[in-house]
Structures are given as C-alpha cells and as structure tokens.
Amino acid sequence: MTFRRLVLLPLLGLLAGCNLVVMKPSGDIASQQSDLIVISTILMLLIIIPVMALTVLFAWRYRQSNKDAVYDPDWHHSTRLEIVIWAAPLAIIVALGAITWVSTHLLDPYRPLDRIAANRPLPEGVKPLVVEAVALDWKWLFLYPDLGIATVNELAAPVDQPIQFKITSSTVMNSFFIPALAGQIYAMPGMETKLHAIINKAGEYDGFSANYSGAGFSDMRFKFHGLAREDFDRWVQSAKDGGGSLDRAGYLGLERPSVKEPVKRYGAVDPALYDAILNMCVDTAKMCMKDMMRIDAKGGMGMAGIGNVFALKYDRPRVRGGEQAPPKRFVAAVCTPEAPRDGETPEVATPRPAAAGRASLETFTPRTSVAERAQADRPVAE
C-alpha cells in the first residue's frame, strides 16, 4: 500500500501546473464570464447531482436481495412523478436560456463598456485606448494609432481605462486571448474583429494565440502589462524614445515567418499601415481589397478584366491527389476603355501595376484606325 502511494505521489505534482486565471481574472469582462461559468455549472448540477444520487438509491433499494422492496409489475404512471421529472429540467432550461440571452448581449465583444467594474460605472467623457492587434507568423504586432507607437510581442494598458481592440491577421486564422482580461477573439486575414475590455489590477499577464496556426504556434506568446497611469505614460515615452520607425517596407520584413521573436518597440508608425494590412495591400503593387470590393459592387470587370491579374509569388503550387494546383491570382490593375467620339480614333486602356494600393490607367493610341481594323476583319472571298 505504501509503494502504491509513493507511485501516485509524483502525479500530484501535475496539479501544481493548473492555472485558475480564467476563474480568478483581473479584468471586469473576464470576471463576468467567470461568474457565468459558475452560475451555469450550478444550475446544471441541480439536475445532475439528484439524478446520480437517485441512481445509486434505486440500485440499492431495489436490489435482488432486498425482499422488503415493493414489487409492482403493473405500475406504469405517476402524475406527480412525471411533473417532477419534466418540470425541474424545464425550469433549468428556461433559466439557462434567460441567462444566455442576457449575457450574450451584455458580454458582446463589439459592445462598448459602460462600467469599470461591479458598482463602478464608467465616467462620462472617458475615451478607450485603441489598440490594433495583428497576428503574424508567429508573433503579435500591436499598433497604438492615438499614440503613434507600435510593439511586437508586448502589450500594455492603463488600469481602469477601457481598451478597444481591432484585431486582424496577415495570413491564417489565429485567436487573440488574454485569459485575465477577456475571452478569446478570432483574428482572420482581410477581416476585422473587435473586443472591448478593461484591466482592473496592475500586473503582468500572459497572452497568446489559442488557435493552431503552424510550426511556430507554441511560441506565439506575449506579455500584457496592466500599469498605473504614471507607469503607462513612462512606458509610452520609452517606446517613443528608444523605438525605431515602422513603415510599409519595415512591416513586409516583419511579416516574414519567425519563431520566438524578441520584444520590439517602434516610436513612429505609418498611420495608414493598419488599413493597408486589413485590406491586404501593404505591398503597393497590389490592389486594396476595399477597392476590389467596390469594383465588384458596381458589377465587376467581367471577361475584360482577366488580363489584369497576376500570380502571387509566395503561393507555390502543391501537388494534391496527383493534380497540380494552379497558382492563386490577384487583381493588380483595372482597365476602362473610353468610348470614341465621332470621327476620332478610340483610346485603348492597357494595365500597369497599381501604385499605392490603387488601380491606375495608361492609354495609348492604336496605329490603325477604326475603318482599317473593320476592313481587316472582313472575311476574304475566295
């Protein structure tokens, strides 16, 4: 017996690795989510525990050796028992439905905060700290548009100030998660998700990606610092004084896959960088997605636009099922032919790579006239 206990003793050490930060968070949104988990669990246990207890009771009472148990093979219905069996679960379902409906609206990540913590309403005129979070391979980039700074694998915010996150990704889907702050929110390329949260206690907290995204996923982690206002101001000033500059060219280098990227700070940031990341046109030779969607909303380019696409260099065709996949392409320019005026030779538009993420046009005058081309197109009689 002593040997068995000694064998099981090392297993108890595994319990030391349990982290209850989800149930004891430091942010108001995460605290409300923790309360929701506890309330939902208790409501479900109101049914589960009696059912488990009655299972043991019935098995013991109506065991074969108990001759005192009433044997009634003709019993088939009890109105009172049916009421208990159906009313109790129905009440639990109604309660869970009401709690879910209310919490879905109150804890909507897109909903701006109206309180700092329980019994502490948000003062009027308080503006949230805007943070633009970008999931890269395999690191996190945080842009502070109102402060003009950016960081890699490091995030900071003042205590008791609302934070408005704008979240996107550069390549594949990720999940932005700081357990002490709020629930996880997905980051997707070409899309923006939002999260409103607040930190109520100063400290250093873990943040990471909760969605597998490739070889470097395990090291896609960062530290979130909840700081007092004075400490946060000093942190911002240190980033401005000691950080470099992040522009489009710098981002394209940062975007390349890397593992265990050290903390970096940038004291100056291109104000249009996040919009270019979101619209997948940091490379100025590519058309911005918002421009492409605007073209599609007006009817698209049809067959005339087929010649305006270029293959992506970094998407290598892969052999799957014995077939070689064609390269993916993107629209790089838009051609709009102009209607000719009376007696004039029409100008034909030819594409050229778009600059600054926008389509551009270049026209030239053909060598032959309209009448000459029409004559050339006629069938020759034999």
- Average pLDDT score over residue span 205-209: 94
With the C-alpha atoms ordered 301, 305, 306, 311, is the resulting torsion angle positive or negative?
Answer: negative
Element containing residue 349 per DSSP (H, E): strand 348-350
Clarify whether residues 125 and 29 are in a common domain: no
Q: Is residue 382 part of a domain?
A: no
Provide the CATH number for the domain around residue 259.
Answer: 2.60.40.420
Domain closes at, from 278, 302, 325: 278
Q: What's the number of domains the chain is made of?
A: 3
232/301 same-domain check: no
Supply the mean pLDDT for the chain: 80
Measure the CA–CA gap between 230 and 220, rounded to whole angstroms: 29
pLDDT for 139-182, tens place per residue?
999 999 999 999 999 999 999 999 999 999 998 999 999 999 99
Report yes or no on 259 lying in a domain: yes
Coil, strand or helix at 320 = strand
- Is 163 found in the same domain as 223? yes
In a domain, 12, yes or no: no
- The answer as to whether 197 is a domain residue is yes
Which residue range forms the structural domain that includes residue 263? 116-278
Q: What is the pLDDT of residue 308?
A: 55
Whether 202 and 196 have beta carbons less than 8 Å apart is answered as: no
Tell which of 227, 259, 278 closes a domain.
Answer: 278
Nearest CA-CA partner of 187 in 204, 171, 174, 205: 174
With beta carbons less than 8 A apart as the criterion, state whether 358 and 291 touch: yes
pLDDT given at position 61: 87
Same domain flag for 157 and 269 = yes
Q: What is the pLDDT of residue 148?
A: 93
Averaging pLDDT over each range in 62-71, 143-152, 341-350, which range is the top one? 143-152
Is 126 a member of any domain? yes
Domain end among 245, 278, 311? 278
Residue 217 shares a structural domain with residue 274: yes
Kindly state whether residue 186 falls inside one of the protein's structural domains: yes
Percent of the chain with pLDDT over 70: 73
Residue 6 lies in a domain: no
Residue 51 corresponds to which amino acid?
V
Q: In the structure, what pLDDT confidence band is assigned to residue 338 with cuts at 50, 70 and 90?
A: low
Confidence category of residue 305, pLDDT binned at 50, 70, 90: low
Give the pTM: 0.72
